Amino acid sequence: MKRVAVLASGRGSNFQAVIDAIGEGYIPAECAGLISDNPGAYAIERARKAGIPFFIVDYSLYASKEDYESALLPAMQSLHADLFVLAGYMRILGARIVREFPGRIINIHPALLPSFAGLHAQRQALEYGVKVSGCTVHFVDEGMDSGPIIVQSCVPVLPGDDEESLSERILSREHLCLPWAVRAFCEGRIRVEGRRVSITGEPPPPPG
Q: Which residues are catalytic?
A: 109
Give the nearest residue (CB) to ligand GAR. Answer: 88
- How far apart CA 173 and CA 78 sit, in angstroms, is 31
In whole angstroms, give the CA distance from residue 154 to residue 184.
20
Minimum CB–partner distance for residue 86 and ligand GAR (Å):
7
Q: Which stretch binds ligand GAR (CB under 6 A): 4-12, 28-36, 63-71, 157-165?
A: 4-12
Query: Any contact of residue 18 with ligand GAR (CB under 6 A)?
Result: no
CA atoms of 199 and 188, how far apart (whole Å): 9
* CA-CA-CA-CA torsion sign (34, 35, 41, 45): positive
Site string for ligand GAR, 22-61 (x = CB under 6 A): ----------------------------------------
Torsion, Cα of 35, 193, 144, 98 (10° steps): 40
CA dihedral 196, 173, 18, 3 (to 10 degrees): 0
Query: How many Å apart are CA 62 and CA 27, to the nearest integer?
Result: 35
Which of residues 4, 6, 7, 14 is near ligand GAR by CB under 6 A?
14
Q: Contact with ligand GAR (CB under 6 A): which of 5, 19, 35, 171?
A: 171
Q: Closest CB to ligand GAR among 23 and 201?
A: 23
- Residue 133 interacts with ligand GAR (CB under 6 A): yes or no: no
Q: Which of 2, 3, 11, 123 binds ligand GAR (CB under 6 A)?
A: 11
Burial per residue of 75-112, b for 16 or more beta-carbon CB atoms within 10 angstroms, e otherwise: ebeebebbbbbbbbbeebbbeebbeebeeebbbbbbbb
Cβ closest to ligand GAR, residue 44 vs residue 79: 44
Answer for which of 33, 88, 147, 205 binds ligand GAR (CB under 6 A) is: 88
Cβ proximity to ligand GAR: between 58 and 63 the closer is: 58
Considering beta carbons, is residue 12 or 205 the nearer one to ligand GAR? 12
Chain Cα centroid distance, residue 6: 8
- Say if CB 4 and CB 32 are below 8 A apart: yes
Is 91 near ligand GAR (CB under 6 A)?
Answer: no
Binding site for ligand GAR (CB under 6 A): 8, 10-14, 87-88, 90, 108-110, 121, 171, 174
